[in-house]
Chains A and B, each alone.
Chain A
């Protein structure tokens, strides 16, 4: 019989503001992560638009003071990395992981709330630099001597606020990572073995391992920078026996794994989306998991590929390991493409964004492989090529994956579907704007344009590509309008989603939309990585094909 009364009738649940501010419910906290991070995305985006407006044509137009330009790109990158991509993906994980493993909440709900509330605090500290005589202006990497005190650096409080803010956000990440790991290891429903977990949960697991093991290392780099700046220390001061490259080593020991913290959860999202909208199981479930683990492990041995030109690192080793990472990443590309292959594809918005991830991340992977070659990197280091590469990975990859996840889980979070029409307009504008912004940066990089400059000579041959990139940047900004309007309208008048609008595979679709505070009244039997699919098609009792 095909009647499965898996979930109770939807409960009308209208929490007030106080309930939101004091909640320990992982779903509310997850949604607050999403909203908070998206606000910082808009703030970071405004800084990016200011930067692009400045670079659109030669000469100084927007900024009268180059140091304010430096503050803008530094705060843009810091906000986008530490206050947008990392926390918003953690927020998606926060919402989905307990649901996907059939748990009522995270393992430590109060610590979960603490992790969240550190983020707005960290963000305010970071931005308050503008009120304290100038924000951090040494780039998001904040290499000494630019970030230390001395003739080359700005001695303002902004850099110290940047350090304190990042330590705070890092602590939030570490606590969140511990929470995810304990939740995943200890809170799984009966039958949910490790190799039946959704890929999203697996990617959050590997991400959390990276967070717990790498984030404290940047904390150590930051506290030493703080000591140098404020307590008279000499860690990074070569004139007093310190070593400036030491900072780069410790910084990248975190910041390279952090790249995987920023992209693995997005990979998890599209690994949920592609099977559902292709009506097929994920091609090579276990291979995908091992590839994810391999990326996590190799990610700890490639940090110095950011430092090839320092002359202080062993080039063949770091180049080789960097190339090696292309292998598990390639495995994943096969997983995704062969999931689509001969699938019954429905071109819904989540799938379109997921395919956007596939194509754009592929470009980001390929131009990354070029930079992994030492001689090529010596030519391209610190040029706009690197800016193109990192945006193809973090915007083309992570942000497209993030939007796939938002369109996919919005019905679960709110009970209403987003409009497909606005979703597709959003995608088209963002896709065109993204490529118009960042593809020209490849040409600029090859033409030798250095990153982090406020102005360039009009005879340098960089004018056309810069103008194109700036137009594209504003198009990305415009593409957020249909998205926000979509959210606004759909929350009020969107179609009622029902429990399982996409015919999903994983446990979150077995409960109501939105789920009750305790998540599940009852669970389907878990005999494979697709328990809801099994329940829908009466496959209970058959062994999983894994």
Chain B
């Protein structure tokens, strides 16, 4: 054997070592899921565990406090109210976010920007509705300090709202970069990553709505 047969080519653009006609198998790690999307999925995994901790606290607290809700707040969390509108809006925004992905995958930048804009605005509307809903609840005397019922409600929905706010910021960045023309049919990893996050935020809200308002 010669020393030459052990040599590999220099680094290519992706930073991986390319094989050049030697017996080295072509890297099986290429293709498949992209680094940013995998990173986002793992980040969402950690976020799921964070909310799992909060949900665990909620169920543990609820299980040892009867009646739930306490008599003074009976019926205060009415699913057929403003919150249903907010829920529909957030679910709709998940759809428009997905339409944006499909647009950019086709290379349709105008459709992409339109759909991301709608998603962005719907996210802001959700946050405004939630803030208004908070003010209504405060008006009825419910607050973080009003027993485990108030503590769990405002903690869970508050952290969800903070995540929606983070998602809106991300959507804003995506919208800005999209208007600069930085995304194309081939290059839109950031959009996919943000849309995954947005879907995650939506799913958490569906769980929250079901648990806090319906269950």
Contacts and interface: CB of A to CB of B under 8 A. Distances in A.
Contacts of A241: 61, 64-65, 147-148
Contacts, number: 169
A1 B5 CA distance: 11
B53 A220 contact: yes
A523 B9 CA distance: 9
Contacts of A217: 49-50, 52-53
Interface stretch (B35-43, B131-139, B176-184, B200-208): B35-43
A189 B2 contact: no
A258 interface: no
B60 interface: yes
A522 B10 contact: yes
B3 A246 contact: no
Contacts of B80: none
B28 A213 contact: no
A337 B61 CA distance: 49
Contacts of B10: 521-522
Interface string B12-24: 0001111100111
Given A181-B42, A182-B39, A224 B57 contact: yes
A188 B23 contact: no
A232 interface: yes
Nearest to B47: A216
B29 interface: yes
Q: How large is the interface on B (under 10, 10 to 19, 20 to 34, 35 or more residues)?
A: 35 or more
A246 B60 contact: yes
B186 interface: no
A243 interface: yes
A253 B8 CA distance: 46
A102 B29 CA distance: 12
Nearest to A222: B53
B15 A178 contact: no
B39 A108 contact: yes
Interface string B170-200: 0000000000000000000000000000000
A102 B17 contact: yes
A1 B1 contact: yes
A495 interface: no
B71 interface: no
Given A182-B39, A217-B50, A250-B56, A523 B8 contact: yes
Q: For B10, B42, B56, B64, which residue has the most chain A Cβ atoms within 10 angstroms?
A: B42
A178 B39 contact: yes
Contacts of A246: 57, 60-61
A185 B8 contact: no
Interface string B125-159: 00000000000000000011101100110010001
Q: Please list the 6 inter-chain residue pairs (A to B) with the smallest Cβ-Cβ separation, ordered nearest first.
A: A220-B53, A232-B145, A216-B50, A190-B27, A233-B151, A216-B49
Given A102-B17, A240-B148, 9 more contacts: A1-B1, A4-B3, A107-B39, A177-B42, A182-B35, A186-B35, A241-B147, A525-B24, A526-B24
